[in-house]
Structure 1
Amino acid sequence: MSTEGWQLDNFDLDRFVRQTLDEDLGVGLPGGGHDVTSESVIPPDARFAGTMDSREAVVVAGLPIAAAFFRALDPTTEIELLADEGAEVAAGGDLLRLSGNARALLTAERSALNLVQHLSGIATLTRRYVRAMGESRCILLDTRKTLPGLRVLEKYATRVGGAQNHRMGLWDAAMIKDNHVAVAGGVTEAIRRAREAGVERIICEVDRLEQIEPALGAGATHLLLDNMSPAALRQAVALVAGRVPTEASGGVTLETIAAIAATGVDFISVGRLTQSAPAADIGLDFILA
């Protein structure tokens, strides 16, 4: 499997790799700019070979990015990807095999592992939520609850796990929530202002059934049904009657998502996918080549 051609829209992989490595190496800091341990302990011409493997069952995400870390410090590094992005790998399964300059591989190791552990953790949890929904037409969405600077990568990992992306940021849709409503003076007024500003996608959060008709009448194009019980969600879906997409959100767990999906909502958004997914247990062991 090759890493050539792998890219993400609106993401500069080379810059991300360089900035991450510079941070770890202390570039620009007094005494920084190098790996003290590897330079003092490892001969400059030593070569390592290694295998990245999973110590638990995971959904794989981030291997092409890991490869970029190693190649950034040793362009001649030989890398073989042993699993596709999105593949389900059992505990003990090999993910990546590589060989190259020992100093370079050791310097890049932590950054590469951190990234694969984090993204695979997100993809693995996302796949669990998708499966927990059962046989449903409902679609799982992520949220903006991402780590600063990592949104594109974390939302990539949710796609790998089987979800769809919600808003990528504050720019691609209006989401009118309770604080916006409070300042604007009501749901109708908040939506009216968004429409007058020329916003096409207007998502409006409602937490009571009586807010639905005013929101639809004012021109909302998507309703976020916040923290409603399955019974209330069924009522809401019936009231909306297919006029706009409906999205359930708030307090969704692996234990409750199937019941929520069965209410007929079009989407379910889960902040935990990116906010608190545990890192996957993935390791990398080197030997002298």
Structure 2
Amino acid sequence: MAFDTQEPFPVMRPAVREAYGPANLSGEPIFAGGFINFGYWRGINLNAPLSEADRIRSQQDLYRCIWDAAAPMEELRLLEVGCGLGMGCALALRERSPAEVTGMDIHSAQLSRAQEAHAALLEQVPGRLRFVQGAAELMPFADAEFDVVVSVEAAQHFPDLGAFAAETARVLRPGGRVAIASFFTAGGDAPSRGADLSRLLDTFANGLDIARPVTALTDALTASGLSGVRVESLGPQVWAGWDAWLSRLCAPDSWARNFLRAYERRILDYYLITAQRQ
């Protein structure tokens, strides 16, 4: 078996199945390096022509930002929910010295790609890296199995944030921390936000991304018993750089360029959310 799997788990939504299966977003040029995130662009000169190395650094830096917010990871057990190709898991092993890293994803195709991409690393660090199939709403792990849980640009896909929060609280040990980065609607729970985003962005129109306010997640984390829930906007470090990179690959009137426009209109923002289990 290429990776651990445990069933049953919730049925994958069709748009998610397509994007991370046949479409294989991890292989698209806009996600150079296979990380599949918009990037954290602080310290990168957006006024100069951006290189593929800049793009990869931006995606790595988003992970570093999330890890810094979560906790020191030396000799701890780390879970990434929605690990995709596993690039963040591998980077964590190289840079943060955790005892163990588990990458979990709902999509078997992504996990097969992750297993192939990191075959050499899996041999080099036996027992310290594994890939597991599972859903954010029903994680195939024991209670209190992890010290740190992170999720990087995946929560916008999760259909049930309450179940995700409850499962996160369950698999964290007492004192463990969670850090989540994703994009949510801005300006409260205005009914028009979802319609606005569907008009601007194909990923909301086709159901890949779900329009919800960040309070939908923070309230769920609090209801699950986690404490110290905090929210920080990463918008200033994300949207301008993402759009500058897209300008190399997409026409000015293409739908993808509307992410920055949605942010500027205060319809959408990018957030970092942290909490702790008591």
The TM-score normalised by the length of structure 2 is 0.29
